[in-house]
Amino acid sequence: MPEQNHNDVSDQEEIWMSIRAILSILRVLVLISTIVISEFFEDHYILDLTVAIWSLIVGIPMFFLISLLILWGNKTFIPVSAKEQIETVLRPILERK
């Protein structure tokens, strides 16, 4: 009977890893679709702006929002071990001698 490996990963962390993977794929799709839409729909207008401009107006903030959600989720749901906290130097230039 094979042994089960427990990596001390909580359920919250496993769920966040799944959501993070979906958000990462969505972020790439938003970037690619923004570029594709801005290239193909330069001649179509909505409210006196081209669809290319609208794709940039909507796509760039969506990309940054998804990136911020990923960063926030990493900070919230992935715990930092006590060893990593101790080894981390907050101001390395000031502490270097």
**Total domains present in the chain:** 1
**Which pLDDT score, from 0 to 100, does residue 49 have?**
87
How many helices (H) does the chain have, and how many strands (E)?
A: 4, 2
Q: What is the mean pLDDT of residues 84-90?
A: 65
3-state secondary structure of 6: coil
**Which pLDDT score, from 0 to 100, does residue 25 have?**
97
**Which pLDDT score, from 0 to 100, does residue 54 have?**
92
**64: containing domain:** 11-95
Percent of the chain clearing pLDDT 90 (strictly above): 44
**Which pLDDT score, from 0 to 100, does residue 94 have?**
66
Q: Smallest Cα–Cα separation from 39: which of 24, 61, 59? A: 59
Q: What is the mean pLDDT of residues 25-38?
A: 94
Q: Is residue 90 part of a domain?
A: yes
Q: Is residue 82 part of a domain?
A: yes
Q: Is residue 1 part of a domain?
A: no
Q: Smallest Cα–Cα separation from 81: which of 16, 9, 32? A: 9
The count of C-alpha atoms lying within 13 angstroms of the C-alpha of 33, restricted to the half-sphere facing its C-beta, is: 13
Spatial contact of 92 and 28, defined as CB atoms under 8 Å apart:
no
The structure's pTM equals 0.71
Whose tokens are 């979906």? That residue is 22
Q: Is residue 34 part of a domain?
A: yes
Q: Is residue 3 part of a domain?
A: no
